[in-house]
């Protein structure tokens, strides 16, 4: 995807737009314990920490193209178990990709235009996420509250956008998509990158370019790189596979 001079060759993308590998995976087992509320006119999953576990801080969750599906809800509950009040935004407005195609081999809806679907929802999310965050802070935050954010695939650029502001203290993404040079060059706060060694959206050359940008800008970051897993491992890994399960939990 990148040329020999480390200049990305695909319209300037480092982590390219999501593709077929984003439409596969397995469903996890468990019952989500959070609830849906409305924040800035958007459906939002809210998961509260156990009373004695609360650290007083808020985690913002930006989903992948599967949206508010069981795996994501359970992951948010796990973050709440770590002490955070967790809020996840449904910027797909009830229209996740799995309603059109269950996986990359599903051709039951031949009229589904994945590229048009991505374009429509990214345009909306770009506008909606900032006002959603503002409303989260007004409704749930206190002067003492600290914020973190995490995004998966489609959600990665919103992590980087907030790290470029003064909204959050730290952010993380896993198997990212839709990232360009400026997403790394502009961050001001620590970034945690959780990546799979084989990933068409963020391949080895692109990771190297991203690290060069982070290092040149003296950014604070940590890269976690897993072998033996693919794009989507952090949300849609096979929990019956001990190694994939371990990767999801780290």
Active site residue 28: no
Query: Active-site residue among 22, 149, 153, 248?
Result: 153
Residue 123 class from Cβ within 10 Å (0-12 exposed, 13-18 middle, 19+ buried)?
A: exposed
Q: Rounded to an integer, what distance in angstroms lies between the CA atom of residue 209 and that of residue 62?
A: 24
**DSSP designation for 94:** T
**Alpha carbons 249 and 124: distance in angstroms, whole number:** 31
Q: Is 231 a catalytic residue?
A: yes
Active site residue 153: yes
Catalytic residue selected from 64, 77, 90, 199: 199
Q: How, if at all, do strands 85-89 and 42-47 pair?
A: antiparallel
- Alpha-helical regions (H) of the chain: 70-81, 114-140, 156-163, 181-185, 204-216, 233-236, 242-249
Choosing from 160, 183, 231, 248, the catalytic residue is: 231
Please list the active-site residues: 153, 199, 231
């Amino acid at each position: 995807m990148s040329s020999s001079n480390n200049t990305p060759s695909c319209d300037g993308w480092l982590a390219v737009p999501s593709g077929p590998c984003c439409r596969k995976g397995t469903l996890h087992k468990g019952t989500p314990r959070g609830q849906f509320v409305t924040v800035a006119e958007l459906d939002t999953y809210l998961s509260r920490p156990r009373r004695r576990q609360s650290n007083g801080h808020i985690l913002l969750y930006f989903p992948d193209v599967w949206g508010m599906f069981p795996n994501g809800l359970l992951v948010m509950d796990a973050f709440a178990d770590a002490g955070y009040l967790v809020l996840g935004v449904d910027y797909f407005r009830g229209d996740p990709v799995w309603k059109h195609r269950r996986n990359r081999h599903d051709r039951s809806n031949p009229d589904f235009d994945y590229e048009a679907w991505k374009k429509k929802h990214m345009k909306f999310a770009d506008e909606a996420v900032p006002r959603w965050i503002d409303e989260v802070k007004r409704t749930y935050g206190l002067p003492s509250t600290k914020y973190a954010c995490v995004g998966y695939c489609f959600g990665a650029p919103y992590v980087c956008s907030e790290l470029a502001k003064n909204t959050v203290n730290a952010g993380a993404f896993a198997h990212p998509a839709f990232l360009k040079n400026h997403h790394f060059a502009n961050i001001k706060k620590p970034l945690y990158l959780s990546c799979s060694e084989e990933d068409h959206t963020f391949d080895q050359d692109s990771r190297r370019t991203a690290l060069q940008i982070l290092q040149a800008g003296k950014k604070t970051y940590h890269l976690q790189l897993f072998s033996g897993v693919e794009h989507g491992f952090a949300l849609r890994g096979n929990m019956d596979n001990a190694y994939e399960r371990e990767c999801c939990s780290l």
